[in-house]
Amino acid sequence: MATDAPPSTAAETPASGQAEQQPPLLSAVDPSASSSTTTSPPPLAPIRTERHPSSSSTASSFDSTCVTSPLTPGGAPGAPFRSPGAAGFGATGGGAAGVGGSGATSHDLSEELLAAGWRKFWSKRENRPYYFNKLTNQSLWEPPTAALPGVKRTLSDPAAAVPNHHHQHHQQGPSAPKRPSFGGPQALDAAWNFSVHSNCVTLERPPRRLFQPHPETELLRAQLIAKLRQHYSELCVSRENIQPPPDSFNRWLIERYLSDKGSDPLFPSDCDNELSYALFREIINDLPVRLCRPKLSADAKKQLYRYAEASKAMIESRVANPESRKIVKWNVEQTYQFLRQAKMPTYEDCLERLAHLKRTCQPHIEEAAKESVEKICTKLYHLSVEYAKKVRELQETLFKVTNPTDPWADLPPWSGDPKRRVRCYPVQICSPAPRPAAQQQLVETGCTDRMQFVRYGRDNSSQQGICRSVFAKLQQLYTLHCTEEDPSMEKFFPRLWCMLTRYQAFLGQQSQNTQAALPIPVFEAISRLFGVTFELFASPLNCYFKQYCSAFPDTDCYFGSRGPVLDFYPLEGSFEANPPFSEELMVAMVNHMENLLKEATGPLSFMVFLPDWRDPPTEALVRLEASPYNRRQTCVLPFEHSYRNGMQHCLERDEDLYVKSAHGTLIVFLQNDAGFMKWTPTSEKIKDLLIAFGQQSSHRRPQPQ
Ligand code: SAH
């Protein structure tokens, strides 16, 4: 099933007296967080919107119109949403339809509330009225007070008042108010748990100097990035006669962000080196043709023939030195001979030949194609720089920037304390004043049984669709983090639209591989067994915890993001890392983790999940295995586990939710002494973890009877 091998460096002595006392400040920020590793839900209580201790001073040190501060919710309870319970309450089926039996009595609701989807019903079980929103599937005991559903109302959800969600729908009569399904079928597989509080401690950080997201700039970015992808694709076809390697554009972006100092969050525009070696390697590797593992010997034979043909054609058509030309042609000739003579070559014979041909020809092919491929990479980068400039020009107009070289020049200095230890909190941003005009009026929405749509203006092409369960999740995240800053949630839709548009631009049509997530039972297990409360690689769309790092702080901070992982400096806490498949980012991640472990002031633990690629092993994998902080590692074998689909937020069918992993997954525990003491990866716990990896299929929605 799985291999489990403690590394040779595993012997550790417990750190004595190393764990620092938590300063009183921390318990003031989030009292519930001291027992934060538990996944059991907090008691239902009115939401408290405690500010981060510094945030009042932070906010007051700037013009309040300039600072957006999605505040830490402190001990605010998450909405009652737990995976195990979800399987129970989701089975109640489709929200509004189920409630209908009680008979609506909506006459005492205002026009505004009716238009927003609210209706009044009678609960036979509780013998009192309740309110149900057919657009969002929320239900409340108290009358709703505003058109947009807000957090206080979510927390008064009548179904949530029933303590045991597992048994709830069996106990209810047919006309009892059903638990909101938050988007129907997918709620059965609730993919998050916001009742887990953070155990991560960091230093206080100043607000980031970022422009707030604006629908106009996001729209322009989306249009320009589509154009950039198109250019890239055309360059690959016209110069090399290949389709772009799958996901290479996305990996290029991720790699570029590592050194980019430009001001645009999407378009790399100020990198150390304009040539991306990551992209160069990917394209070169697909020349002269892309090879994939053949299934049958006929496929293997065909690939061998194709590779030989393409090599010959390429070396003849490019500027290559005569020696290279001779070697390639001679090897191709040998291959033709082999194909002619061995009428029925075996699968293994063909693969062996192909490997030999590639080994001998590839260096010469690379030499011949080098200049042309470099041109693709640099052209792509130059276009990106140009597009970043266009977006910046629009931003300067929209935000009335008076000083384009430093739009933040007029803001008063930050008055926080960079030495203060605090419970981690989302990125706060300050942007040039004044805040853009009421953008929210420009966003329209609609929904179907499964999907929620948000669009900007009247243009259908700007429409974004997400599963309603994910929509409900994003509402929860937003209310958890922005209740104080935006109590009426009037900025929710524009911010949602901007975030969705950013991710759609970033991912393109299909980019599962940079977004695949761990199965839910694995998240439950790592939280329970190893005190994990935080994902280091995530997005608002795929996060399981309410605290996480993500690639885009400007759009994601309203939904709880702590910003990009390499800009995040935890001093203690227990973390999970499932990075996108970018070699450069993975190596940077290992470096970052080792530095953090060196500097940690309390227990620090990283559980890293990486593809077990060993042919040859990736640099990140080698570094992780050899790390002095590596306490233990284990591996789940290929095809014996699955990941959640990278497009889980907009899937049309539940059946596509899990994708079998064709590679093994290596799990490595990097911990300092105190982290090892506190969250020891014992054999017992590892066994539980591996069992959780095998459970994701049983976690799926039961088939309808
Ligand atoms: N949170 C899930 C899915 C991880 S997929 C899990 O832990 O299993 C990897 C995620 O990392 C993607 O959502 C991607 O957008 C995000 N990502 C990319 N670059 C990042 C960065 N620099 N910092 C943090 N997250 C990043």
| SS (HEC) of 217-228 | HHHHHHHHHHHH
Question: Which residues, other chains included, contact 50 with Cβ-Cβ below 8 Å and sequence gap of 6+?
Answer: 29, 30, 71, 72, 73, 74, 75, 76
Asked if 645 and 659 count as a contact pair (C-beta separation under 8 A), the reply is: yes
CA dihedral angle for residue 465, residue 469, residue 475, residue 477, rounded to 10 degrees: -110
**Residue whose CA is at the smallest distance from ligand 1 atom 2:** 517
Asked if the structure places residue 458 within a domain, the reply is yes
- Residue 627 belongs to some domain of the structure: yes
- Look at residue 237 and tell me whether its pLDDT is greater than 50: yes
Are residues 384 and 249 located together in one domain of the fold? yes
Half-sphere exposure of residue 222: CA atoms within 13 angstroms, side-chain side: 22
424 and 382, same domain (yes or no) = no
Domain boundary among 369, 402, 435: 402
Residue 156 lies in a domain: no
Compute, in angstroms, the gap from residue 565 CA to the centroid of ligand 1.
9
Q: Indicate which atom in ligand 1 lies nearest the CA of residue 543.
A: 1
Ligand 1 pocket mutation pick from 515, 518, 537 by most atoms within 8 angstroms of CB: 537
pLDDT of residue 112: 66
pLDDT at position 116 over 80: no
| Atom number, ligand 1, closest to the C-alpha of residue 517 | 8
| 694 Cβ neighbours under 8 A, 6+ residues apart | 1, 640, 641
The last residue of a domain, from among 402, 426, 453? 402
Residue 440 has pLDDT above 90, yes or no: no
Query: DSSP character for 663?
Result: S
Q: List all residues 6 or more positions away from 418 whose beta carbon is below 8 Å from its beta carbon.
A: 203, 204, 205, 206
List pLDDT tens digits, range 632-657. Answer: 999 999 999 989 988 888 888 877 88
- What pLDDT is recorded for position 66? 39
Atom number, ligand 1, closest to the C-alpha of residue 568: 23
Confidence check: pLDDT of 76 > 90: no
- Please report the sign of the dihedral spanned by the C-alpha atoms of residue 294, residue 298, residue 300, residue 305: negative
Q: Would 224 be classed as within a structural domain?
A: yes
The band of 134, judged by pLDDT with boundaries at 50, 70 and 90, is low
Of 36-45, 254-263, 338-347, 577-586, the poorest mean pLDDT is in: 36-45
Q: Please state, in angstroms and rounded to a whole number, the distance separating the CA atoms of residues 224 and 229.
A: 9
> For the chain, what is the radius of gyration of the CA atoms?
27
Kindly tell me if the per-residue pLDDT of 99 is higher than 50.
no
Q: What six digits make up the tokens of 151?
A: 């957090």
Q: Do residues 679 and 571 both lie within one domain?
A: yes
Q: Where are the alpha helices (DSSP H) in 111-247?
A: 111-115, 151-155, 165-171, 215-235
Whether 28 has a pLDDT exceeding 60, the answer reads no
Mean pLDDT value of segment 482-510? 91
> Mean of the per-residue pLDDT values for the chain?
77
Q: Is the pTM of this model over 0.85?
A: no
CA–CA separation, 462 and 498 (whole Å): 10
Q: Are 552 and 416 in a shared domain?
A: yes
Q: How far apart are CA 215 and CA 210, in angstroms?
A: 15
- Check whether 527 has a pLDDT greater than 50: yes
- Are residues 542 and 590 part of one domain? yes
- Residue 585 is inside which H or E element, if any? helix 583-599
Residue 178 falls within a domain, yes or no?
no
Tell me the C-alpha distance between 118 and 115, whole Å: 7
- Please give the pLDDT value at position 437: 54
Could you tell me what percentage of the chain is helix, strand and coil, using 3-state DSSP and rounding each to the nearest 5? 45, 15, 40
pLDDT band with cut points at 50, 70 and 90 for residue 704: very low
CA angle at residue 303 from 299 to 304, to 5 degrees? 120
Ligand 1 centre distance from Cα of residue 539 (Å):
6
Least confident of 110-114, 143-147, 338-342: 143-147
428 lies in a domain? yes
The model's confidence at residue 136, banded by pLDDT at 50, 70 and 90, is: low
Residue 594 in this model has a pLDDT that exceeds 60: yes
Nearest CA to ligand 1 atom 8: 517
Percent of the chain with pLDDT over 90: 50
Does any domain span residue 38? Answer: no
pLDDT at residue 1 in the model = 43
User: What does the pLDDT read at residue 244?
Assistant: 95
Question: Both 443 and 385 in a single domain?
Answer: no
Worst-scoring range by mean pLDDT, 126-140, 250-264, 373-387? 126-140
Total structural domains within the chain: 2
On the CB side of 285, how many CA atoms lie within 13 Å of its CA? 11
Please report the pLDDT score of residue 103 as a whole number: 38
306 falls in which pLDDT band (50, 70, 90)? Answer: very high
Specify whether 556 is located in the same domain as 600. yes
- Judged by phi (left if over 0) then psi (alpha if -120 to 50, else beta), residue 636 lies in beta
336 and 424 inside one domain? no
Q: How many residues make up the chain in this entry?
A: 705
What pLDDT score was predicted for residue 182? 34
User: Residue 504: its pLDDT value, please?
Assistant: 92
Q: Which of 121, 126, 124 has the alpha carbon at shortest distance from 162?
A: 126
Query: Which ligand 1 atom minimizes the distance to the CA of 585?
Result: 22
Same domain, 198 and 266: no
* Residue-level pLDDT at 257: 97
For residue 115, name the pLDDT band (cuts at 50, 70, 90).
low
Question: What are the backbone angles phi and psi of residue 122, rounded to the nearest 5°?
Answer: -115, 130
Burial level of 594, CB count in 10 A (0-12/13-18/19+)? Answer: middle
Q: Which residues line ligand 1 (CB under 6 A)?
A: 254, 514-518, 535, 537-539, 542-543, 549-551, 564-566, 576, 578, 580
Query: Which is it for strands 534-538 and 548-550: parallel, antiparallel or unpaired?
Result: parallel
Same-domain check for residues 568 and 441: yes
Q: What does the pLDDT read at residue 132?
A: 72
> Same domain, yes or no, for 491 and 596?
yes
Q: Which residues contact 614 (CB under 8 A, 6 or more apart)?
A: 621
Of residues 335, 334, 243, 320, the one with CA closest to residue 283: 243
Distance between Cα 654 and ligand 1 center (Å): 22
CA distances for 523 relative to 87, 520, 526, angstroms: 16, 5, 5
Q: How confident is the model at residue 72 (pLDDT cuts 50, 70, 90)?
A: very low
Of 366, 384, 402, at which residue does a domain stop?
402
Write the single-letter amino acid at 52. Answer: H
pLDDT for 455 beyond 80:
yes
Closest Cα to atom 20 of ligand 1? 551
Determine contact, residues 125/176, Cβ cutoff 8 Å.
yes
Do 516 and 650 reside in the same domain of the chain? yes
3-state SS, residue 517: strand
Backbone dihedral region for residue 247 (phi beyond 0: left; psi -120 to 50: alpha; all else: beta): left
Type of residue at 336: Y
**348: containing domain:** 216-402
Asked if the structure places residue 573 within a domain, the reply is yes
